[in-house]
Amino acid sequence: MKNGVGTSGLILDEPLLWEKGKKGRKGMSIPHSDVPQAPLDEELTGTPVDFPDLSEVDVVRHYTRLSQWNFGVDSGMYPLGSCTMKYNPKINEKQAATPQLAAAHPMLDDQYSQGVLQIMYELQNYLADITGLDAVSLQPAAGAHGELTGMLIFNAYHQSHDSKRTKILIPDTAHGTNPASAALCGYRAIALKSNENGMLDAADVRELMDEETAGIMLTNPNTLGLFEGQVRQIADIVHAKGGLVYGDGANMNAVLGVADMKKCGVDVLHLNLHKTFSTPHGGGGPGAGPVCVTKELEPFLPVPRAWKDGDIYRLEQDRKDSIGRVHGFHGNFGVLVRAYSYILSMGAEGLRKASQLAVLNANYIREQLKDTFHLPYPQPCMHECVFSDQLQKDYKVTTLDMAKRLIDYGFHPPTIYFPLIVHGAIMIEPTETECKEDIDQFIATMKEIAREAKEEPDKLRNAPQISKVRRLDEVQAARCPCLTGPTLPAEQ
């Protein structure tokens, strides 16, 4: 194989900010104040924080160097399954940086925020159209927040029907956040096993669904990258017992303009704008997890929502049956603008095409690598495919070793050890934005790594070798996390 894109280069080292700077350095000079001094209420003051004194150039070089150690979608292919790390077009950034939007004050009256509210109103409508559902709240800050909002809506709905429900069905292929969100809302998660084809069986749902169960949380396509073919029958069973169907929309990138979530029987669905609608993410945010619901559940949506009253856009603050606020002000508005820009620049046909290409790319990888890596569920996949390290086990090489080796070749590793039902899972989601040449390079690299596993396994066990840092001690980091600067006194 030709050398991959990974090569070595000069990497500048950089200490922590606490190890930089000198007393008296300043980032900026502030003019002398002509306001008379006044004593500060002592109750408002505490021990001074030990911040380092730094000049502007200290700070700029610090963060520039850190950014050069980083790997993002602007650097290369990032096939992190379940995360939809597609390239984010720069036009979205340009729109979000428009001063009139970026500097809009959230406390301005509606009459001075018409543009902002129009964007929110139209985005709500686009998301309703895309999912097939009827009403949308843009408030939740990310996927898991959308899930919690959805569970609060479930709860509000059941309360409005004087129905007390304590359980919720969650498939074993669910994202870990699903049972956590349900538990936060007081529901007990009942695990639903997927069948030998990695999918849910309506018969299993029928057995477990009862009138103490609030409903089901399902991800479709599921985390094996498979479309739940029985979703409609499952929804009918859940509805017949008075339950609701939650759709985790994390994998919507596979089905834009293809699957109508309402026709699938979904009552509440969250979207990850930062995944499917192409806004930068990773490293903790910000994201946006709008929640889409059926007409019947619209009264429970969180406030505020954008509303059109004649020719005037308004932010609706009060709604009798609403679960209330789940976020301050307008939600993560900067993310909403990027998603709005993405939807308008792609158009309906473009979004459908994006999903089709995402599915095609994943199937191309699945087909090309199926003889190199074990494929626990061999049927055609949607936007991601899941392999395992079973064929490499004999050489005492693990999924982790292979993932780390990909770094040396200039690729971000895929998601590993998830979903949990696949031992040593390697979950690859190429997205639609990778060209064939780059996908071919990735496939060739994976084949090369499989060869190394057999012939030079130590290369994998010692990977990565040419990155800024070698393999990190994940165990130490998890057991003894150090989250403070080194000059601060250690926690007592």
Partner 1 sequence: MKELNELNLPENLGYTEDHEWAQKTGETIKIGVSDYAQDQLGDIVFAELPTVGDTFNKGDEFGTLESVKAVSELYIPMSGEVIAINEELDDSPELVNEDPYNSWMIEIKPSTPEEYDQLLSASAYMDLLKG
Task: Return residues touching partner 1 (CB under 8 A).
Answer: 176, 393, 396, 398, 400, 416-418, 420, 423, 474-475, 478-479
CB of 181 to partner 1, least distance (A): 15
CB of 475 to partner 1, least distance (A): 4
CA distance 395 to 411: 23
Q: Which is nearer to partner 1, 140 or 419 (CB)?
A: 419
The answer to whether 468 and 11 are in contact (CB under 8 A) is yes
Closest Cα to residue 266, out of 296, 287, 288, 289?
296
Q: Which is nearer to partner 1, 27 or 176 (CB)?
A: 176
Q: Which is nearer to partner 1, 43 or 474 (CB)?
A: 474
Tally of CB atoms within 10 A around 209: 24
List 271's β-bridge partners, or say none.
249
Q: Which is nearer to partner 1, 18 or 417 (CB)?
A: 417
Tally of CB atoms within 10 A around 253: 26
Q: Which is nearer to partner 1, 313 or 418 (CB)?
A: 418
- Which residues fall within 8 angstroms of residue 416, CB to CB, at 6 or more apart? 399, 400, 403, 424, 425, 426, 427
CB of 253 to partner 1, least distance (A): 24
Q: According to DSSP H, which parts of 265-385 are helical?
A: 273-276, 333-369
The answer to whether 342 and 278 are in contact (CB under 8 A) is yes
Instruction: Report the amino acid identity of residue 278.
Output: S
Q: Which is nearer to partner 1, 436 or 479 (CB)?
A: 479
Residue 42 DSSP class? G
Distances (CA, A) of 407 to 223, 388, 449, 491: 24, 18, 11, 35
CB of 281 to partner 1, least distance (A): 23
The answer to whether 217 and 182 are in contact (CB under 8 A) is yes
CB of 286 to partner 1, least distance (A): 26
CB of 420 to partner 1, least distance (A): 6
Residue with structure tokens 């496939």?
Answer: 443
Angle subtended at Cα 418 by Cα 271 and Cα 477, rounded to the nearest 5 degrees: 100
In total, the chain counts a number of residues equal to 492
Q: Which is nearer to partner 1, 6 or 464 (CB)?
A: 464
CB of 417 to partner 1, least distance (A): 4
CB of 171 to partner 1, least distance (A): 15
CB of 134 to partner 1, least distance (A): 36
Q: Which is nearer to partner 1, 278 or 392 (CB)?
A: 392
Q: Which is nearer to partner 1, 172 or 448 (CB)?
A: 172
Structure tokens of 476? 């130490």
